[in-house]
A and B are shown apart, each in its own frame.
Chain A
């Protein structure tokens, strides 16, 4: 059995959790000698050679293939129906829409005959790249033998659908995050439409948590039995002993992540103020950057906790390890987190964690305090308890590490292979 897999990014060139998860999964599949073709929009040449990699930027599309034009037509329709990401000049726009009305013959053949150089980034022409990527996927599906198609998140869903259209092989859609997680209630309708089309076209949907599965069923109208839950794992479960000396006498409670709506930073700030009322011997640190950074600074000043609540800005490399190493408690108050890998990083550093019930990781990590993201009293209580009652934090440290050892990508990959087998059988 051969898997044709469509991703968007792959380590070391990643900007989000998607690339890391793909890497873990591919590594796990390779461990079980699973045959794979992994396609990304742009390869950099320094990827770990775990699969047969295909660089979408290198693919030349055979424009004589009539079915491709049909795919492109659908995708073009998708693009031009958007006011959010306009990429066509008015002239092109009218020629494309004209072409669609009159049938495919007037379509500009140039889009088929040349290679397209993907940036592989999340830029303003994202939708354009997603569509081109799908066209390339169709070509690959025609050229390369495979038994099943696997597409990761909405960016690769159009590619998965296109490949399925050409080869007729079953499609597995892997959902790492939905538009509802990223944007709250103000979803981008275009992205939502792509997500939904991918889920509907798929033969099987893999969700990274029960939480995500619930969203898929409730918000995208997908029948429950079509969705299986497959939790993420950790690439390296070994303990991290980063030597860092804490220079302040107080205990440190840390939030580390993007300072955006999804991550619930405001609940951390409110809980911090409550803890500081009872215990002056704590410092809170908000590490990261994002559109809510300035409002958080503003709120900290309003609450008059500025000498006990610190901001570090975006951390990278050693600074991240340093931050975890000097933290006494790690808090992830996410409002909506399909999975959330960072608490597991904290566990590797022997730091006790508090996570929101609205995170997928809460389903796999037993030795952590779980609170509703909005329940700042419970969060404050938990912080206070972990700082003061050594029994709990000690237990969490020991058992958390044991738990972590079970979260291996090999286990996840084995389950995935079974999902493949069942899907192909149908």
Chain B
């Protein structure tokens, strides 16, 4: 049976408050509690709660034939506990059905896979623990890295940590003539299966759904089923990967996105030979067709599908390098506040706000940034980082004195 594999990314960063030079050394609370809470609440009302309810209804109605998977970042889990226990409860209900798979990622939704293997392993481990704790001992088997960032070596690290599979982008420049609708394996560790996002059909839902200027607007379930039927018969798996905020936040309820999802399962069952599977089922059932070679990291962002949304300009590189220089020192600290801030400071969003690709994808970036310019984002981040470094230093001096 051919199958559709849904994976939704659920993430919110801890945003920094405006942090001035005069506060360095004085104020050690960096997080904008007000905006973090209000954004969490707003998106909960528009997206998380209604969509979770809808998914629960679909799972029940289809007796388990409809399945989805989530990757929920550690910063999101923390914010749910802090600001939205109702959302946490509804996720727990979904997972308890047994038809919702959870994936593992880095706790801080960070870019550490590119910089430090030890930090990467620590963060994956702490995310695993957190999932276990919140979801009744649940242990994910499949991994997805921040922003679907993947390379051969990242795959190898993930395999060594005991995962069966990993999700990433079906980037054109990696696939060439190949189709994303198969299961591939990592080129260094052939036992690690790689699932690739079908970006055309994923983005039809995630980005183009509500766009009246799109030539295929409006997208109906009939049309979508027609498209999946055009996929050659031998291609077995259709990976639809997207941000969970697609539903109700990026695509508002008025676009009809909820109705589309509500009727998609029945339309697929009635009009095609596709079913729905969770990533671990796809990995267990499908036979891999070959290796995928990714020597330089790819991601799911922008036209380039590379790392330039987060790293590469001087602002980003300076912030990133200064941050990771601290790793060894942070690891020595026993202060939980230091560890929490270290964790949250690594979140990829902070580097995304410093992106200067104004004229191509910059408009999307600007929409998601609390700052007026990447320069402002940099100043604020560096001020906070400076204070964080002072705290580390003070702690070290205190422990030497003892």
Q: Which residue of B lies closest to A304 (CB)?
A: B318
In the assembled complex, which residues on chain B have CB atoms less than 8 Å from the CB atom of A36?
none
In the assembled complex, which residues on chain A have CB atoms less than 8 Å from the CB atom of B20?
312
Give the segment of B97-105, B274-282, B384-392 that binds chain A. Answer: B384-392
Query: A229-247, CB under 8 A of B: which get 1 and which 0?
Result: 0000000000000000011
Does B375 contact A307, Cβ atoms closer than 8 Å? no
Q: Which of B314, B315, B386 contacts A307 (CB 8 A)?
A: B386
Does B26 contact A297, Cβ atoms closer than 8 Å? no
Does A311 contact B379, Cβ atoms closer than 8 Å? yes
Task: Report if A310-B375 is in contact (Cβ < 8 Å); known contacts: A297-B315, A298-B315.
Answer: no
Interface size on A, residues (CB 8 A): 22
Does B314 contact A247, Cβ atoms closer than 8 Å? no
Task: Report if A247-B24 is in contact (Cβ < 8 Å); known contacts: A304-B318, A310-B386.
Answer: yes
CA distance A294 to B25 in the complex (A): 25
Task: Report if A294-B385 is in contact (Cβ < 8 Å); known contacts: A301-B318, A311-B379.
Answer: no
A291 within 8 A of B: no
B22 within 8 A of A: yes
In the assembled complex, which residues on chain A have CB atoms less than 8 Å from the CB atom of B26?
247
In the assembled complex, which residues on chain A have CB atoms less than 8 Å from the CB atom of B317?
301
Q: How far, in Å, is A303 (CB) from chain B's closest CB?
A: 8
Q: Which of A246, A302, A310, A312 contacts B382 (CB 8 A)?
A: A310
Q: How far, in Å, is A308 (CB) from chain B's closest CB?
A: 8
Q: How far, in Å, is A399 (CB) from chain B's closest CB?
A: 30
Interface size on B, residues (CB 8 A): 25
Q: How many inter-chain contacts with C-beta < 8 Å in the A-B complex?
A: 62
Residues of chain A from 254 to 294 with CB closer than 8 A to chain B in the complex = 283, 285, 293-294
B378 within 8 A of A: yes
B373 within 8 A of A: yes
A306 within 8 A of B: yes
Task: Report if A310-B314 is in contact (Cβ < 8 Å); known contacts: A248-B390, A297-B375.
Answer: no
* Most chain A beta-carbon contacts within 10 A, residue among B20, B22, B322, B390: B22
A249 within 8 A of B: yes
A73 within 8 A of B: no
Task: Report if A311-B21 is in contact (Cβ < 8 Å); known contacts: A298-B314, A306-B378.
Answer: yes
Residues of chain B from 358 to 402 with CB closer than 8 A to chain A in the complex = 373, 375, 378-379, 382-383, 385-386, 389-390
In the assembled complex, which residues on chain B have CB atoms less than 8 Å from the CB atom of A319?
22
In the assembled complex, which residues on chain A have CB atoms less than 8 Å from the CB atom of B49?
none
Q: Which of A246, A294, A308 contacts B375 (CB 8 A)?
A: A294
B303 within 8 A of A: no
CA distance A293 to B374 in the complex (A): 12
Does A297 contact B390, Cβ atoms closer than 8 Å? no
CA distance A304 to B21 in the complex (A): 18
| Interchain residue pairs with CB less than 8 A apart (6) | A249-B390, A298-B375, A306-B319, A306-B378, A310-B21, A322-B22
Q: Which 5 A-B pairs have the closest CB atoms?
A: A247-B25, A301-B314, A247-B26, A248-B25, A301-B318
The residues of A with any CB-CB pair to B shorter than 8 Å are 246-249, 283, 285, 293-294, 297-298, 300-302, 304, 306-308, 310-312, 319, 322
Q: Apart from A293-B375, A300-B318, A306-B322, what 17 extra A-B contacts exist at CB < 8 Å?
A: A248-B390, A249-B390, A283-B386, A285-B21, A294-B375, A297-B378, A297-B379, A298-B375, A301-B314, A301-B318, A301-B319, A306-B319, A306-B378, A307-B385, A310-B24, A310-B382, A312-B20
